[in-house]
A and B are shown apart, each in its own frame.
Chain A
Amino acid sequence: MNATRNRDLLVGLFVLAGLAAIAYLSLSLGGLSYNGPGGMKLHVDFDEIGGLTTRAPVVIAGVKVGQVSAIDLGTDYRARVTIDVDKKLELPVDTSASIVTSGVLGDRYVSLQLGGEDDILKDGDDLTFAESAVILERLIGQFIHNTNVEGEKK
Protein backbone atom coordinates (compact mmCIF):
# COMPACT_ATOMS: atom_id res chain seq x y z
CA MET A 1 0.00 0.00 0.00
CA ASN A 2 2.78 2.38 0.97
CA ALA A 3 4.70 1.55 -2.20
CA THR A 4 1.62 2.32 -4.31
CA ARG A 5 1.19 5.69 -2.63
CA ASN A 6 4.85 6.55 -3.19
CA ARG A 7 4.46 5.58 -6.81
CA ASP A 8 1.40 7.80 -7.16
CA LEU A 9 3.37 10.66 -5.64
CA LEU A 10 6.17 10.12 -8.16
CA VAL A 11 3.69 10.02 -11.03
CA GLY A 12 2.12 13.23 -9.78
CA LEU A 13 5.50 14.92 -9.48
CA PHE A 14 6.44 13.72 -12.98
CA VAL A 15 3.26 15.12 -14.51
CA LEU A 16 3.74 18.41 -12.64
CA ALA A 17 7.36 18.66 -13.80
CA GLY A 18 6.30 17.97 -17.40
CA LEU A 19 3.54 20.56 -17.26
CA ALA A 20 5.97 23.05 -15.70
CA ALA A 21 8.38 22.43 -18.58
CA ILE A 22 5.59 23.00 -21.13
CA ALA A 23 4.53 26.15 -19.27
CA TYR A 24 8.12 27.43 -19.20
CA LEU A 25 8.47 26.81 -22.94
CA SER A 26 5.17 28.49 -23.80
CA LEU A 27 5.10 31.37 -21.33
CA SER A 28 8.68 32.39 -20.77
CA LEU A 29 10.24 31.39 -24.08
CA GLY A 30 7.18 31.38 -26.33
CA GLY A 31 6.32 34.91 -25.26
CA LEU A 32 2.68 34.34 -24.36
CA SER A 33 3.10 36.41 -21.19
CA TYR A 34 3.26 39.79 -22.91
CA ASN A 35 0.06 39.07 -24.83
CA GLY A 36 -1.95 39.28 -21.65
CA PRO A 37 -4.27 42.16 -20.92
CA GLY A 38 -1.70 43.71 -18.56
CA GLY A 39 0.26 45.49 -21.31
CA MET A 40 -0.08 49.05 -22.60
CA LYS A 41 -0.42 49.28 -26.37
CA LEU A 42 1.27 52.19 -28.16
CA HIS A 43 1.44 52.96 -31.87
CA VAL A 44 4.42 54.30 -33.75
CA ASP A 45 4.63 55.20 -37.46
CA PHE A 46 7.95 54.53 -39.12
CA ASP A 47 9.07 55.40 -42.66
CA GLU A 48 11.19 52.27 -42.78
CA ILE A 49 11.27 49.31 -40.40
CA GLY A 50 13.90 47.32 -42.28
CA GLY A 51 13.50 43.78 -40.99
CA LEU A 52 11.81 44.51 -37.69
CA THR A 53 9.56 41.59 -36.81
CA THR A 54 6.76 41.01 -34.35
CA ARG A 55 7.94 39.86 -30.92
CA ALA A 56 11.10 41.94 -31.29
CA PRO A 57 11.99 43.43 -27.91
CA VAL A 58 11.21 47.01 -26.89
CA VAL A 59 13.86 48.46 -24.60
CA ILE A 60 14.48 51.56 -22.52
CA ALA A 61 18.18 52.13 -21.82
CA GLY A 62 18.82 48.54 -22.89
CA VAL A 63 16.32 47.03 -20.45
CA LYS A 64 13.51 45.02 -22.04
CA VAL A 65 10.14 46.53 -21.18
CA GLY A 66 7.90 44.98 -23.84
CA GLN A 67 7.70 43.71 -27.38
CA VAL A 68 6.41 44.53 -30.85
CA SER A 69 2.93 43.04 -31.09
CA ALA A 70 1.86 43.98 -34.63
CA ILE A 71 3.21 45.56 -37.81
CA ASP A 72 0.80 46.87 -40.45
CA LEU A 73 0.96 49.14 -43.44
CA GLY A 74 -0.76 52.37 -42.39
CA THR A 75 -3.16 54.43 -44.53
CA ASP A 76 -0.36 56.83 -45.47
CA TYR A 77 1.82 53.90 -46.64
CA ARG A 78 4.07 54.10 -43.64
CA ALA A 79 4.71 51.18 -41.32
CA ARG A 80 2.38 51.27 -38.34
CA VAL A 81 4.04 49.37 -35.51
CA THR A 82 2.11 48.46 -32.38
CA ILE A 83 4.22 47.92 -29.30
CA ASP A 84 3.11 46.31 -26.09
CA VAL A 85 4.91 47.65 -23.02
CA ASP A 86 4.65 47.31 -19.27
CA LYS A 87 1.56 49.20 -18.02
CA LYS A 88 3.37 50.50 -14.96
CA LEU A 89 5.71 52.65 -17.07
CA GLU A 90 5.07 56.39 -16.95
CA LEU A 91 6.34 57.54 -20.33
CA PRO A 92 6.21 61.27 -21.20
CA VAL A 93 4.13 62.11 -24.30
CA ASP A 94 7.20 63.31 -26.19
CA THR A 95 8.95 59.94 -25.86
CA SER A 96 10.58 58.95 -29.13
CA ALA A 97 11.06 55.49 -30.62
CA SER A 98 13.89 54.33 -32.84
CA ILE A 99 14.69 51.04 -34.53
CA VAL A 100 18.19 49.85 -33.75
CA THR A 101 20.23 46.78 -34.51
CA SER A 102 22.15 44.74 -31.99
CA GLY A 103 25.55 44.34 -33.57
CA VAL A 104 26.15 44.70 -37.30
CA LEU A 105 24.05 41.72 -38.39
CA GLY A 106 22.01 41.24 -35.26
CA ASP A 107 18.29 41.46 -34.68
CA ARG A 108 16.32 44.69 -34.90
CA TYR A 109 14.62 46.03 -31.82
CA VAL A 110 12.78 49.18 -30.78
CA SER A 111 14.47 51.54 -28.36
CA LEU A 112 12.50 54.23 -26.51
CA GLN A 113 14.07 57.53 -25.50
CA LEU A 114 12.16 59.35 -22.80
CA GLY A 115 11.14 62.96 -23.33
CA GLY A 116 10.71 65.75 -20.80
CA GLU A 117 6.95 66.52 -20.80
CA ASP A 118 4.85 66.20 -17.67
CA ASP A 119 1.90 64.46 -19.40
CA ILE A 120 2.26 60.70 -19.67
CA LEU A 121 1.21 58.29 -22.42
CA LYS A 122 -1.92 56.17 -22.02
CA ASP A 123 -2.99 52.84 -23.56
CA GLY A 124 -3.63 53.22 -27.31
CA ASP A 125 -1.72 56.50 -27.70
CA ASP A 126 0.53 57.31 -30.65
CA LEU A 127 4.19 58.14 -30.32
CA THR A 128 4.88 61.24 -32.42
CA PHE A 129 8.64 61.00 -32.68
CA ALA A 130 10.01 58.04 -34.57
CA GLU A 131 13.42 57.37 -36.03
CA SER A 132 13.46 54.79 -38.81
CA ALA A 133 15.74 51.85 -39.22
CA VAL A 134 19.11 52.38 -40.80
CA ILE A 135 19.43 50.19 -43.89
CA LEU A 136 23.04 49.18 -44.17
CA GLU A 137 22.82 48.41 -47.89
CA ARG A 138 21.36 51.83 -48.63
CA LEU A 139 24.14 53.53 -46.66
CA ILE A 140 26.75 51.54 -48.54
CA GLY A 141 24.99 52.40 -51.82
CA GLN A 142 25.04 56.10 -50.99
CA PHE A 143 28.67 55.87 -49.96
CA ILE A 144 29.69 54.21 -53.23
CA HIS A 145 27.59 56.69 -55.20
CA ASN A 146 29.19 59.65 -53.41
CA THR A 147 32.73 58.46 -53.96
CA ASN A 148 31.95 57.91 -57.65
CA VAL A 149 30.67 61.49 -58.01
CA GLU A 150 33.76 62.82 -56.31
CA GLY A 151 35.96 60.73 -58.59
CA GLU A 152 34.23 62.20 -61.66
CA LYS A 153 34.81 65.72 -60.41
CA LYS A 154 38.51 65.15 -60.37
Chain B
Amino acid sequence: MIAAIRELGNRAVRFDGELGTLAVFTSQILLAVFTRPMRIRRFVDEVYRLGVLSLVIVCVSGITVGAVLGLQGYNTLARFGATGSLGAVVGLSLIRELGPVLAALLTTGRAGSATTAEIGTMVATEQLDGLRMMSIDPVHYVVAPKALAMLLVMPLLSALFTVCGVGGGYVVGVHLMGVDPGAYLSSLESAVDFNDDVLGSLIKAVVFGILIGLISTYRGYTCRPTSEGVSAATTSTVVVASVSILVFDYFITALWGV
Protein backbone atom coordinates (compact mmCIF):
# COMPACT_ATOMS: atom_id res chain seq x y z
CA MET B 1 0.00 0.00 0.00
CA ILE B 2 2.67 2.42 1.10
CA ALA B 3 4.81 1.21 -1.78
CA ALA B 4 2.01 2.08 -4.21
CA ILE B 5 1.70 5.59 -2.79
CA ARG B 6 5.48 5.95 -2.93
CA GLU B 7 5.40 4.84 -6.55
CA LEU B 8 2.69 7.41 -7.30
CA GLY B 9 4.73 10.15 -5.63
CA ASN B 10 7.82 9.07 -7.52
CA ARG B 11 5.94 9.24 -10.82
CA ALA B 12 4.50 12.66 -9.99
CA VAL B 13 7.95 14.01 -9.18
CA ARG B 14 9.40 12.54 -12.38
CA PHE B 15 6.52 13.97 -14.45
CA ASP B 16 7.08 17.34 -12.82
CA GLY B 17 10.78 17.14 -13.53
CA GLU B 18 10.11 16.26 -17.13
CA LEU B 19 7.79 19.25 -17.55
CA GLY B 20 10.55 21.44 -16.16
CA THR B 21 13.11 19.95 -18.51
CA LEU B 22 10.71 20.49 -21.41
CA ALA B 23 10.29 24.15 -20.40
CA VAL B 24 14.06 24.64 -20.23
CA PHE B 25 14.41 22.85 -23.58
CA THR B 26 11.75 25.13 -25.11
CA SER B 27 13.50 28.25 -23.88
CA GLN B 28 16.80 26.92 -25.26
CA ILE B 29 15.17 26.48 -28.67
CA LEU B 30 13.64 29.96 -28.52
CA LEU B 31 17.01 31.41 -27.59
CA ALA B 32 18.74 29.44 -30.36
CA VAL B 33 16.28 30.68 -32.98
CA PHE B 34 17.35 34.27 -32.32
CA THR B 35 21.06 33.52 -31.99
CA ARG B 36 23.46 34.21 -34.84
CA PRO B 37 24.55 32.67 -37.13
CA MET B 38 21.13 31.94 -38.59
CA ARG B 39 21.12 28.35 -39.78
CA ILE B 40 19.12 29.16 -42.93
CA ARG B 41 20.52 26.27 -44.94
CA ARG B 42 19.73 23.79 -42.17
CA PHE B 43 16.24 25.28 -41.89
CA VAL B 44 15.55 25.00 -45.64
CA ASP B 45 16.78 21.39 -45.63
CA GLU B 46 14.40 20.62 -42.77
CA VAL B 47 11.48 22.29 -44.57
CA TYR B 48 12.30 20.05 -47.52
CA ARG B 49 12.42 16.89 -45.45
CA LEU B 50 9.49 17.61 -43.13
CA GLY B 51 7.30 19.46 -45.60
CA VAL B 52 8.01 18.67 -49.23
CA LEU B 53 8.44 14.97 -48.58
CA SER B 54 5.15 14.88 -46.60
CA LEU B 55 3.34 16.53 -49.50
CA VAL B 56 2.29 13.35 -51.30
CA ILE B 57 0.85 11.60 -48.26
CA VAL B 58 -0.95 14.75 -47.13
CA CYS B 59 -2.46 15.52 -50.54
CA VAL B 60 -3.53 11.93 -51.26
CA SER B 61 -5.09 11.61 -47.80
CA GLY B 62 -6.78 14.97 -48.26
CA ILE B 63 -8.37 13.98 -51.55
CA THR B 64 -9.50 10.64 -50.12
CA VAL B 65 -10.97 12.16 -46.95
CA GLY B 66 -12.77 14.82 -49.00
CA ALA B 67 -14.14 12.17 -51.36
CA VAL B 68 -15.39 10.03 -48.47
CA LEU B 69 -16.99 13.07 -46.86
CA GLY B 70 -18.65 13.82 -50.19
CA LEU B 71 -20.08 10.31 -50.43
CA GLN B 72 -21.22 10.08 -46.82
CA GLY B 73 -22.51 13.63 -46.74
CA TYR B 74 -24.41 13.13 -49.98
CA ASN B 75 -26.16 10.01 -48.75
CA THR B 76 -27.18 11.66 -45.48
CA LEU B 77 -28.20 14.96 -47.05
CA ALA B 78 -30.18 13.18 -49.79
CA ARG B 79 -32.65 12.02 -47.12
CA PHE B 80 -33.54 15.63 -46.41
CA GLY B 81 -33.35 16.74 -50.02
CA ALA B 82 -30.58 19.13 -49.05
CA THR B 83 -27.82 17.87 -51.33
CA GLY B 84 -27.20 21.48 -52.34
CA SER B 85 -25.49 22.00 -48.97
CA LEU B 86 -22.92 19.29 -49.66
CA GLY B 87 -20.23 21.92 -50.23
CA ALA B 88 -20.91 23.46 -46.82
CA VAL B 89 -20.77 20.09 -45.06
CA VAL B 90 -17.54 18.98 -46.72
CA GLY B 91 -15.87 22.40 -46.48
CA LEU B 92 -16.76 23.18 -42.87
CA SER B 93 -15.78 19.79 -41.50
CA LEU B 94 -12.49 19.91 -43.39
CA ILE B 95 -11.58 23.48 -42.52
CA ARG B 96 -12.61 23.42 -38.88
CA GLU B 97 -11.55 19.95 -37.79
CA LEU B 98 -10.32 17.35 -40.21
CA GLY B 99 -7.82 19.47 -42.13
CA PRO B 100 -5.62 20.57 -39.22
CA VAL B 101 -6.09 17.42 -37.10
CA LEU B 102 -5.55 14.79 -39.79
CA ALA B 103 -2.70 16.71 -41.39
CA ALA B 104 -1.07 16.98 -37.96
CA LEU B 105 -1.54 13.27 -37.21
CA LEU B 106 -0.10 12.33 -40.61
CA THR B 107 2.83 14.68 -40.09
CA THR B 108 3.43 13.17 -36.65
CA GLY B 109 3.69 9.73 -38.17
CA ARG B 110 5.60 10.78 -41.24
CA ALA B 111 7.94 13.53 -40.01
CA GLY B 112 7.75 13.63 -36.20
CA SER B 113 8.86 10.02 -35.80
CA ALA B 114 11.69 10.56 -38.29
CA THR B 115 12.84 13.63 -36.38
CA THR B 116 12.95 11.74 -33.07
CA ALA B 117 14.72 8.76 -34.63
CA GLU B 118 17.30 11.02 -36.26
CA ILE B 119 18.11 13.03 -33.15
CA GLY B 120 17.95 9.88 -31.02
CA THR B 121 20.47 8.12 -33.23
CA MET B 122 22.69 11.19 -33.01
CA VAL B 123 22.50 10.93 -29.22
CA ALA B 124 23.18 7.18 -29.27
CA THR B 125 26.17 7.49 -31.61
CA GLU B 126 27.51 10.49 -29.67
CA GLN B 127 27.27 12.82 -32.66
CA LEU B 128 25.75 15.53 -30.48
CA ASP B 129 28.73 15.20 -28.12
CA GLY B 130 30.95 15.56 -31.19
CA LEU B 131 29.18 18.82 -32.03
CA ARG B 132 29.68 20.02 -28.44
CA MET B 133 33.39 19.11 -28.77
CA MET B 134 33.59 21.49 -31.72
CA SER B 135 31.76 24.04 -29.53
CA ILE B 136 28.69 23.93 -31.73
CA ASP B 137 25.49 24.03 -29.71
CA PRO B 138 23.46 20.98 -30.81
CA VAL B 139 20.19 22.75 -29.93
CA HIS B 140 21.19 25.60 -32.21
CA TYR B 141 22.49 23.41 -35.03
CA VAL B 142 20.21 20.35 -34.97
CA VAL B 143 17.13 20.94 -32.84
CA ALA B 144 16.03 24.52 -33.50
CA PRO B 145 15.89 24.26 -37.33
CA LYS B 146 13.74 21.14 -37.04
CA ALA B 147 11.30 22.65 -34.53
CA LEU B 148 11.07 25.91 -36.48
CA ALA B 149 10.56 24.08 -39.79
CA MET B 150 7.73 22.07 -38.24
CA LEU B 151 6.08 25.29 -37.10
CA LEU B 152 6.21 26.72 -40.64
CA VAL B 153 5.30 23.52 -42.43
CA MET B 154 2.24 22.57 -40.40
CA PRO B 155 -0.14 25.41 -41.46
CA LEU B 156 0.92 24.98 -45.09
CA LEU B 157 0.30 21.23 -45.03
CA SER B 158 -3.01 21.72 -43.23
CA ALA B 159 -4.18 24.26 -45.83
CA LEU B 160 -3.10 21.98 -48.69
CA PHE B 161 -4.90 19.05 -47.05
CA THR B 162 -8.07 21.13 -46.78
CA VAL B 163 -7.94 22.37 -50.37
CA CYS B 164 -7.28 18.84 -51.65
CA GLY B 165 -10.22 17.60 -49.56
CA VAL B 166 -12.56 20.26 -50.91
CA GLY B 167 -11.42 19.25 -54.41
CA GLY B 168 -12.00 15.56 -53.68
CA GLY B 169 -15.47 16.34 -52.33
CA TYR B 170 -16.17 18.37 -55.46
CA VAL B 171 -15.17 15.55 -57.79
CA VAL B 172 -17.30 12.98 -55.96
CA GLY B 173 -20.25 15.28 -55.33
CA VAL B 174 -20.45 16.91 -58.73
CA HIS B 175 -19.16 14.27 -61.14
CA LEU B 176 -20.27 11.09 -59.40
CA MET B 177 -23.37 12.12 -57.49
CA GLY B 178 -24.61 14.84 -59.78
CA VAL B 179 -24.75 17.75 -57.33
CA ASP B 180 -24.96 21.07 -59.15
CA PRO B 181 -21.41 22.54 -59.27
CA GLY B 182 -22.71 26.05 -58.60
CA ALA B 183 -24.65 24.85 -55.55
CA TYR B 184 -21.58 23.05 -54.19
CA LEU B 185 -19.34 26.10 -54.51
CA SER B 186 -21.89 28.70 -53.42
CA SER B 187 -22.92 26.74 -50.31
CA LEU B 188 -19.22 26.34 -49.55
CA GLU B 189 -18.52 30.04 -49.98
CA SER B 190 -21.50 31.23 -47.98
CA ALA B 191 -20.90 28.76 -45.12
CA VAL B 192 -17.19 29.43 -44.62
CA ASP B 193 -16.23 32.58 -42.78
CA PHE B 194 -12.68 33.87 -42.51
CA ASN B 195 -12.71 34.85 -38.82
CA ASP B 196 -14.74 31.91 -37.58
CA ASP B 197 -13.37 29.09 -39.67
CA VAL B 198 -10.23 29.79 -41.70
CA LEU B 199 -8.41 31.71 -38.97
CA GLY B 200 -9.27 29.04 -36.41
CA SER B 201 -7.98 26.37 -38.76
CA LEU B 202 -4.68 28.22 -39.12
CA ILE B 203 -4.38 28.74 -35.34
CA LYS B 204 -4.94 25.04 -34.78
CA ALA B 205 -2.36 24.12 -37.39
CA VAL B 206 0.23 26.44 -35.84
CA VAL B 207 -0.41 25.05 -32.34
CA PHE B 208 -0.13 21.48 -33.64
CA GLY B 209 3.08 22.41 -35.45
CA ILE B 210 4.57 23.72 -32.20
CA LEU B 211 3.45 20.56 -30.36
CA ILE B 212 4.89 18.14 -32.91
CA GLY B 213 8.12 20.12 -33.24
CA LEU B 214 8.66 20.30 -29.47
CA ILE B 215 7.66 16.76 -28.61
CA SER B 216 9.59 15.06 -31.41
CA THR B 217 12.82 16.98 -30.83
CA TYR B 218 12.55 16.70 -27.03
CA ARG B 219 11.99 12.94 -27.15
CA GLY B 220 14.95 12.52 -29.47
CA TYR B 221 17.21 14.82 -27.46
CA THR B 222 16.47 13.12 -24.13
CA CYS B 223 16.37 9.54 -25.37
CA ARG B 224 18.50 6.81 -23.76
CA PRO B 225 21.64 6.27 -25.88
CA THR B 226 20.80 2.70 -26.89
CA SER B 227 18.92 1.23 -29.82
CA GLU B 228 15.99 0.37 -27.50
CA GLY B 229 16.10 3.94 -26.26
CA VAL B 230 15.76 5.31 -29.80
CA SER B 231 12.90 2.95 -30.58
CA ALA B 232 11.10 3.79 -27.30
CA ALA B 233 11.56 7.51 -27.91
CA THR B 234 10.13 7.24 -31.45
CA THR B 235 7.10 5.32 -30.23
CA SER B 236 6.61 7.78 -27.42
CA THR B 237 6.73 10.71 -29.87
CA VAL B 238 3.94 9.27 -31.99
CA VAL B 239 1.78 8.40 -28.96
CA VAL B 240 2.31 11.60 -26.99
CA ALA B 241 2.06 13.90 -30.01
CA SER B 242 -1.10 12.24 -31.34
CA VAL B 243 -2.84 12.34 -27.97
CA SER B 244 -1.83 15.92 -27.25
CA ILE B 245 -2.97 17.01 -30.73
CA LEU B 246 -6.44 15.61 -30.06
CA VAL B 247 -6.58 17.02 -26.53
CA PHE B 248 -5.42 20.47 -27.66
CA ASP B 249 -7.88 20.31 -30.54
CA TYR B 250 -10.73 19.81 -28.08
CA PHE B 251 -9.63 22.69 -25.88
CA ILE B 252 -9.02 25.11 -28.75
CA THR B 253 -12.47 24.29 -30.10
CA ALA B 254 -14.12 24.55 -26.69
CA LEU B 255 -12.40 27.75 -25.58
CA TRP B 256 -12.45 29.76 -28.80
CA GLY B 257 -15.26 28.01 -30.61
CA VAL B 258 -13.33 27.56 -33.83
The CA-CA distance from A107 to B82 in the complex, in Å, is 11
Tell me, yes or no, whether A7 is within 8 Å of chain B by CB. yes
Chain B residues within 8 Å of A30, by CB: 192-194, 197-198
Chain A residues within 8 Å of B18, by CB: none
Contact status A56-B190, CB under 8 Å: yes
Contact status B82-A106, CB under 8 Å: yes
Tell me, yes or no, whether A21 is within 8 Å of chain B by CB. yes
Selecting from B111-119, B158-166, B215-223, B227-235, the interface stretch reads B158-166
Contact status B163-A21, CB under 8 Å: yes
Contact status A29-B82, CB under 8 Å: no
Closest residue on chain B to residue A14 by CB atoms: B52
Interface of B is mostly: helix
Contact status B156-A18, CB under 8 Å: yes
Selecting from B24-32, B42-50, B130-138, the interface stretch reads B42-50
**B55–chain A nearest beta-carbon distance, Å:** 6
Tell me, yes or no, whether B253 is within 8 Å of chain A by CB. no
Categorize the interface residue count of chain B: 35 or more
The CA-CA distance from A85 to B190 in the complex, in Å, is 15
Contact status B47-A26, CB under 8 Å: no
Closest residue on chain A to residue B85 by CB atoms: A106
Which residues 11-27 in A have Cβ within 8 Å of B in the complex?
A: 11, 14-15, 17-19, 21-22, 24-26
Tell me, yes or no, whether B251 is within 8 Å of chain A by CB. no
Chain A residues within 8 Å of B166, by CB: 29
Tell me, yes or no, whether A57 is within 8 Å of chain B by CB. yes
A-B contact count (CB 8 A): 89
**B86–chain A nearest beta-carbon distance, Å:** 13
Contact partner, B198, options A26, A105, A106, Cβ 8 Å: A26
The CA-CA distance from A31 to B197 in the complex, in Å, is 11
The CA-CA distance from A26 to B188 in the complex, in Å, is 12
The CA-CA distance from A10 to B51 in the complex, in Å, is 10
Contact status A18-B47, CB under 8 Å: no
Chain B residues within 8 Å of A60, by CB: none
CB 8 Å contact bits of B36-74 with A (1 = contact, 0 = none): 000000001101100110010000000000000000000
Tell me, yes or no, whether B126 is within 8 Å of chain A by CB. no
In the complex, besides A7-B48, A31-B190, 14 extra interface pairs with C-beta distance below 8 angstroms are A11-B47, A14-B48, A15-B156, A18-B160, A19-B156, A21-B160, A22-B202, A25-B95, A25-B163, A28-B189, A31-B192, A55-B193, A106-B82, A106-B84
